[in-house]
Amino acid sequence: MRRRIILLSIILFFALFEPVWTGYLRVFSVKPDILLLSVVLTAAFLNFWEAVFWGMIAGFLKDIFSVYGIGINTLLFPVWSAVVVRISRKMTIDDDYALMAVAAIVVFFNGAVCRFIFSLSDRDIPFGVSLRVMLISPVYTAVLLPILRKWLNYFKCLESCRKNTGEEIF
Amino acid sequence: MFNFKRKSSGFIAAGCILLFLFANVIPGLRAPSLNICKYPLSLLNSVRREIGGMVFYRRNLIENIKLKEEINALNRKINDFQEISIENKRLTQLLSFKQNSPSKVVAARVIAHSPDNWSSVIVIDKGRTSGIREGLVVINHLGLVGRVIETSIAASKVMLMNDPDFGVSAIDQRSRQEGLVVGGLGNLLIMKYLPRDCDIEAGDTIITSGFTERYPKGMLIGAVYETGQEFSGLSNYAVIKPAADLASLEEVLVIIV
C-alpha cells in the first residue's frame, strides 16, 4: 500500500510539474520528457503488470494536457514500461549510464511513433522540427536521469518500489 | 643660561594660549583657529573611535548582524515590490487594451503549458462559467495569440499560433497580399500559398484578413522576418515573427463574441 502511494505521488507530481515548469527548461525549443523519464525509472524497479499499470496512469495524466485527443500517451507509456521491464530482466541496467541509454532509446522511439501517428492524422509538423525534437529530446531527457534518480533516492522512493518478494529485478 | 631658556619657553607658551583665547573671542579669528584645531581633533577622534571599537566590540558585532539582516529583509521587499511593479505595468497595459477594445473580452491567466514537444497549447484559468466556448479567439495587448480548443467549467485549453494545427487567413497590411499563416512548433510562423510574384518584404506587418471564421479583420499577427520560395518552386512563403511573445505568456484576453 505504501509503495503504491509513493508511486502515485511520484507520477502525480511529475504530471503536474511538466506543464508548469518544463517551459523554463527548453533547449533549442525542446523540453525534456520528465514524466516518461519517471515512468522508465520506476519501471526498472517494478514487476511487469505493475509497470504497465502505472505507465498507463502516467500516460493518461499526460494526455489530459495534450491537444490530440487520441490518447497516444495512454497507449504508448504502458508499452514502454513493459519494454523497460523486459530489458531489465535480460540485462543489468542498475547503473546510471545503462539507464540513460534505455531512457534515450525509449524517448526517441516515443517521438518517432508520435510523429508517425501525426503524419497519418494530417497533423503537418515540418520535417526539420520533427528531426530536432526526435534528436534533442532523447539526449536532453537522458541527461536529466541521474539528477532525477538522485532526487528520488533521497526520498527513498525507488527503494520502496522494489518488489516485496525479495527477488531483485537486477 | 638654562634658567633663561626655561623662562622664555614659559613666556612663549603663555603667549600662545593668550593668543588662542583672544582669537576665539574675536569672531574674525575664530574660523582660522578652528581650522588649525581640526587636524589634532580629527586625530584624537580617530584614536577615540579605535579604542571605542575595541572596548565595545561585542556590542558593535551584534548591531552589525542585526543591521545586515535588516538590509537583507529590505532587499527582499524591494525585489517583491519590483515584481509587483512589473506585473502592475503589464496588467495596466492589458486593462487599457481591454477597455479600448470594441469587443467583449474576458481576461485570464495562463496556468500551464503543453507538457510535450509536439504541440503548443496553454491552459488558462477561465472556463464555461466565464462565458468561454470552443473556437473563441485569444489575444493579448500585443496581438493574436491563438484560439480556444477545449473548455471545462473552470479552465480552458488554448492552441497557440505556433501549433502545427493552427491556421488563419492573413494579409500583408502594406500590399494587401493574402496568404495562410500556420504554426511550425518553433518561435516563428509561416505564411504559405503566396504567389511567386507576391509583394511581401521583410518588416511588413501581417494582420488577419477576416476570411477565417471568428477572427476579426485587422488583428495583428506579426511582422515578416524573411521570405523564400517553396521547395516545389510553385509558390513563395514568408516567415513571420509573432507580435505576441508566445513562449512567455502570463495573461491573455478571450474575445467573447
Q: pLDDT digits over A9-41, tens only?
A: 888 888 888 888 877 788 888 888 988 988 888
B235-254 mean pLDDT: 90
Whether A168 and chain B come into contact, CB under 8 Å, resolves to no
Contact B165 A115 (CB under 8 A): no
Whether A62 and chain B come into contact, CB under 8 Å, resolves to yes
- Confirm if B173 and B143 have CB atoms less than 8 A apart: no
Nearest CA in chain A to B155: A65
Q: What is the pLDDT of residues A46-69, one digit of tens each?
A: 788 888 988 998 888 888 877 766
Residues of B in contact with A74 (CB under 8 A): none
Nearest to B115 among A18, A29, A126 (CB): A18
Q: How confident is the model at residue A126 (pLDDT cuts 50, 70, 90)?
A: confident
Q: What is the pLDDT of residue B2?
A: 47
Q: What is the pLDDT of residues B19-74, one digit of tens each?
A: 666 656 666 666 666 666 667 777 777 888 788 888 888 888 888 988 888 888 88
Whether A76 and chain B come into contact, CB under 8 Å, resolves to no
pTM for the complete prediction? Answer: 0.70
Nearest to B119 among A30, A67, A111 (CB): A67
Nearest partner of B118 among A58, A120, A67, judged by Cα: A67
Contact A67 B164 (CB under 8 A): no
Nearest partner of B251 among B119, B83, B88, B7, judged by Cα: B88
Contact B114 A22 (CB under 8 A): no
Which 3 state secondary structure label does DSSP give B52? helix
Contact A67 B185 (CB under 8 A): no
Contacts of A2-6 with C-beta under 8 Å, sequence gap 24+, read A2/A160, A3/A160, A3/A161, A3/A164, A6/A157, A6/A160, A6/A161
Angstrom distance (rounded) from CA B225 to CA B204:
8
Angstrom distance (rounded) from CA B41 to CA B95:
63
Q: How confident is the model at residue A168 (pLDDT cuts 50, 70, 90)?
A: very low
Query: Does the structure show a pLDDT above 60 at B176?
Result: yes
Q: How confident is the model at residue B184 (pLDDT cuts 50, 70, 90)?
A: confident
Angstrom distance (rounded) from CA A83 to CA A139:
19
Q: What ipTM does this complex have?
A: 0.80
Whether A67 and chain B come into contact, CB under 8 Å, resolves to yes
Q: How many CB atoms sit inside 10 A of residue A42's CB? A: 24
B103-129 mean pLDDT: 88
Site from B109, B111, B117, B159 to mutate, A interface, most A CB atoms within 10 angstroms: B117
B121-to-A23, A35, A141, B145, B156 alpha-carbon distances in Å = 11, 17, 21, 11, 10
Query: What count of CB pairs under 8 Å joins A to B?
Result: 75
Nearest CA in chain B to A121: B165
Q: What is the pLDDT of residue B88?
A: 86
Angstrom distance (rounded) from CA B73 to CA B94:
31
Average pLDDT, chain B: 84
Q: What is the pLDDT of residue B138?
A: 94
Q: What is the pLDDT of residues A135-163, one digit of tens each?
A: 999 999 999 998 888 877 776 666 655 55
Nearest CA in chain B to A35: B115
C-alpha cell at A168: 531483485
Whether A26 and chain B come into contact, CB under 8 Å, resolves to yes
Q: How confident is the model at residue A166 (pLDDT cuts 50, 70, 90)?
A: very low
A121-129 mean pLDDT: 79
Angstrom distance (rounded) from CA B136 to CA B143:
15
Which 3 state secondary structure label does DSSP give B240? strand
